[in-house]
Structure 1
Amino acid sequence: MQTRVVPLEEGKDPSLINKTNQSRALPLRLFQLFGLFLALCIAFTFISIYTIRFFGVQSVVTTVKSNFEPCFEKEKPNGLDNWIKPPSNLMHTMSDKELLWRASFVPRIKKYPFRRVPKFAFMFLTKGPLPLGPLWEKFLKGHEGLYSIYVHSLPTYEAKYPSSSIFYGRQIPSQISEWGRMSMCDAERRLLANALLDISNEWFILVSESCIPLYNFSVIYHYIMRSKYSFMGAFDDPGPYGRGRYNENMAPVVNISQWRKGSQWFEVNRKLAVNIVEDTTFYPKFEQFCRPACYVDEHYFPTMLAILVPNLLANRSLTWVDWSRGGAHPATFGRNDITEEFFLHKVFEGQQCTYNSQPSSTCFLFARKFAPSALDPLMNISSKVFGF
């Protein structure tokens, strides 16, 4: 048996030659695998881009549209509702300056492009609770849609009316008001301005917690609705409590011949309410030069309106008060005063005034001052005496 001898080149080991061939083959195979992996990645990338572009993005856009389109639609004007619908919440963050400016908006076209039912705005100027509230509830029952209620109380007072009450949620943002000072007129202007935000309010009636209605709602509504004038006293009092309170520093904006006096409790229509809230001419003079013993709430509005719109004033108040006892405040009536005879002979009897320039014996639609103790007897006689 012969052994085959393979000649070897000098210096070359067969095992080294085999290892060299393997090392050359390995990088080639890795390169091929890397190339295949890279090709797969590129293909996957293109497929992903294609899928996102034609499927994913469209679904995202659709989702975005479905999420944001309703919000965009809410921001669009919704017809006249944004302008004619009264505020759902009377509490707001407007300052007095902002509120008066907003309330002074007036449409230039007088004919309304919708069915407008004119309403009363009953504006209660009070320190806190409304002890005679049940009587007002009885008076207004069944006349929803023909009235609005606004309550200005001390800012520290927390109203706790039940949700069924007509006074529930009717408090406006308030500030402290002091009798005889400009802060009292500020409160009245604040009430007017808030009430003007409801475009359907046509007549604005200022009352206090001690006021009561003297007739049923229908009688009062038609009496005021048919009147050619607004009811505010504005007379020239030559005595110490009239012209005697005039300050010469108010000229030439207000001359002494234009100085007027009247009751704090008034009823004005929408035009006069706007005149009051938009005033920046008379306000500074009265604020600076009509301070106690000049009681500004008796002179500011009467003087201003007598200068601006004297032909629109009835020059009398609709609220009955009894000054026969003398003093700085009218008489207050409690439980023992409330009888049918009291109203028939003291309040209703002997009334003489003019209504639409004609003589009338119906002059007062409201009365004050009535104490909380008067509530029960007032409720008992209201149907027979007042008609509600």
Structure 2
Amino acid sequence: MKAVTKHAAMDDDNDRLPVTVMNFYTSCSKEWPSLGIVQVVYVLIIFMAGVVLGLTGSAHLMQYLTHDELFQQPHPLVRDSCRPGLGSGDCQGLESLIRPPSRQVHNMSDDELLWRASMVPMKEECPFERKPKVAFMFLTKGSLPLLPLWEEFFRRHRKELYSIYVHTPPGYELDVSVTSPFYDRQIPSQEVEWGAINMVDGERRLLANALLDFSNERFVLLSESCIPVYDFARVYDYLINSEHSFVQSYDDPSGNGRGRYRWGMRPDIKLSQWRKGSQWFEINRRVAIKIVSDTKYLSIFRMHCKPPCYPDEHYVPTYLNMFSGSLNSNRSLTWVDWSKGGPHPAKYEGVNITENFISLIRNNGTNCVYNNKLTSVCYLFARKFAPSALEPLLNLTSSLMRF
């Protein structure tokens, strides 16, 4: 009986559940009409409030934005600075990136300048017409005593074909007329000393400033005692059409060559890689970028190459031998007379300057390789010439040099 009673109780509970659920739905259905009206009214109130707030916000926004700003907004990174009414200098176009600096003055440190100059576009094709230029870089002790000769050299030729850069002692101001091609061509400079590593710093400073002009393709390092021995057109064609750079780089087994090598440079620079050569070089843009981008090997020279090791005679020749030997002709384009011996070459005064003398520099009986062919034109420049040589040289410009 107890079991029956228990099952009966369970059945009673099961019978009650549907009644309870049914009562719930019944009660909800009875209250729905009044609850639905309240919800609809509540939703309408919220909707109307949103509409009012939206209209009010739009009215305030229209006070600050024009129609063009609302419906014709340019991309802020591309077009915003190029809208009509703004100066062309405010528009960051391609020309602003490739245009060479109008003046050589800037406030960049050497590290900043070298970093900027080492930037290289990876795309070989230019999206603009690029006329290659020759950069003439003068590393001087001060004045340019042969300046009138160089002005005559450049005079009849378009500035689109060349650039000039002058490195002088700090504080020195080159005194030239505004019509001179040398006007406003001094770069920010620092002290350089003969035989010291800061001489190489000066060379790299010139290269870095010249590399800021994307059109510069060839780079010639000259001193205040250098002269051209051919006219501009001949020099330009020779350099622009060359497949190689012109850096004298050779293995000198004597004490003035290998004898200057420092064993502390190992293992990064080996004796078998050590080279010597003339300071006065001519290089292409690819090699110039490599030189200004180097930090590691210049630091080794800065630490170990001190007199009687002379960095200006070893750094560039050694560096090119290690990394760009196939791009180099292993000869200099600047004629120098070392026949008298000693640490400095012969210097020529005004009494030495004759038409025959310049002709002998041009045709000195030697042949060299140019674009894998033999040629008798081996030198485009010469040094060292004293200030007294200026007048006799100017007398030869129209006849022999054909400036």
TM-score bracket for the superposition, by shorter chain length: 0.7 to 0.9
2:99 aligned with 1:102, yes or no? no
Where 2:235 maps in the other structure, the secondary structure is: helix
Whole-Å separation in 1 of the counterparts to 2:64 and 2:330: 72
Q: 2:106 aligns with which of 92, 106, 111?
A: 92
Contact residue 320 and residue 347 of structure 1 kept, 8 A: no
Whole-Å separation in 1 of the counterparts to 2:134 and 2:101: 16
Contact residue 362 and residue 378 of structure 2 kept, 8 A: no
Identity %: 54
Deviation string for 1:64-118 (max 9, x for gaps)?
xxxx9856975442x2111110001210000000000000010101111111000
Which residue in the other structure is 2:237 paired with? 222
Structure 2 letter corresponding to 1:301: V
2:204 aligned with 1:189, yes or no? yes
2:313 aligned with 1:298, yes or no? yes
Which residue in the other structure is 2:366 paired with? 351
| CA-based RMSD | 2.2
Whole-Å separation in 2 of the counterparts to 1:176 and 1:291: 17
Describe the shift of the 1:374–1:82 C-alpha distance in structure 2 as closer, same or farther (beyond 3 A): same
User: Can you give the 5+ residue segments of structure 2 that lack an aligned partner in the other structure?
Assistant: 1-58, 69-82
Whole-Å separation in 2 of the counterparts to 1:120 and 1:267: 10
Q: 1:174 aligns with which of 174, 189, 194?
A: 189
Following superposition, the deviation at residue 60 of structure 1 comes to 12
Following superposition, the deviation at residue 161 of structure 1 comes to 1.2
2:168 aligned with 1:153, yes or no? yes
1:118-157 matched pairs, under 5 angstroms: 118-144=132-158, 145-157=160-172
Structure 2 letter corresponding to 1:209: E
Whole-Å separation in 2 of the counterparts to 1:244 and 1:236: 11
Whole-Å separation in 1 of the counterparts to 2:364 and 2:164: 30
Following superposition, the deviation at residue 142 of structure 1 comes to 2.0
Whole-Å separation in 2 of the counterparts to 1:80 and 1:125: 32
Where 2:264 maps in the other structure, the secondary structure is: helix
Which residue in the other structure is 1:330 paired with? 345
Whole-Å separation in 2 of the counterparts to 1:210 and 1:84: 33
Which residue in the other structure is 1:260 paired with? 275
2:293 aligned with 1:278, yes or no? yes
Which residue in the other structure is 2:18 paired with? none
Where 1:299 maps in the other structure, the secondary structure is: helix
Which residue in the other structure is 1:18 paired with? none
Give structure 1 regions of 4+ aligned residues with deviation exceeding 3 angstroms: 57-62, 68-76
User: Can you give the 5+ residue segments of structure 1 that lack an aligned partner in the other structure?
Assistant: 1-52, 63-67
Following superposition, the deviation at residue 283 of structure 1 comes to 0.7
Structure 2 letter corresponding to 1:198: D
Following superposition, the deviation at residue 217 of structure 1 comes to 1.0
Where 2:184 maps in the other structure, the secondary structure is: coil
Following superposition, the deviation at residue 362 of structure 1 comes to 0.7
Contact residue 152 and residue 191 of structure 1 kept, 8 A: yes
Contact residue 126 and residue 152 of structure 1 kept, 8 A: yes
Where 2:396 maps in the other structure, the secondary structure is: helix
Describe the shift of the 1:215–1:76 C-alpha distance in structure 2 as closer, same or farther (beyond 3 A): same
Describe the shift of the 1:266–1:293 C-alpha distance in structure 2 as closer, same or farther (beyond 3 A): same
2:257 aligned with 1:242, yes or no? yes
TM-score of the two chains, using structure 2 as the length reference: 0.78
Structure 1 letter corresponding to 2:285: R
Following superposition, the deviation at residue 348 of structure 1 comes to 2.6
User: How many correspondences in the alignment?
Assistant: 329
1:2-41 matched pairs, under 5 angstroms: none
Whole-Å separation in 1 of the counterparts to 2:112 and 2:180: 30
Q: 1:320 aligns with which of 335, 341, 356?
A: 335
Structure 2 letter corresponding to 1:185: V
Following superposition, the deviation at residue 226 of structure 1 comes to 1.7
Whole-Å separation in 2 of the counterparts to 1:313 and 1:289: 26
Whole-Å separation in 2 of the counterparts to 1:72 and 1:382: 46
Contact residue 286 and residue 300 of structure 1 kept, 8 A: yes
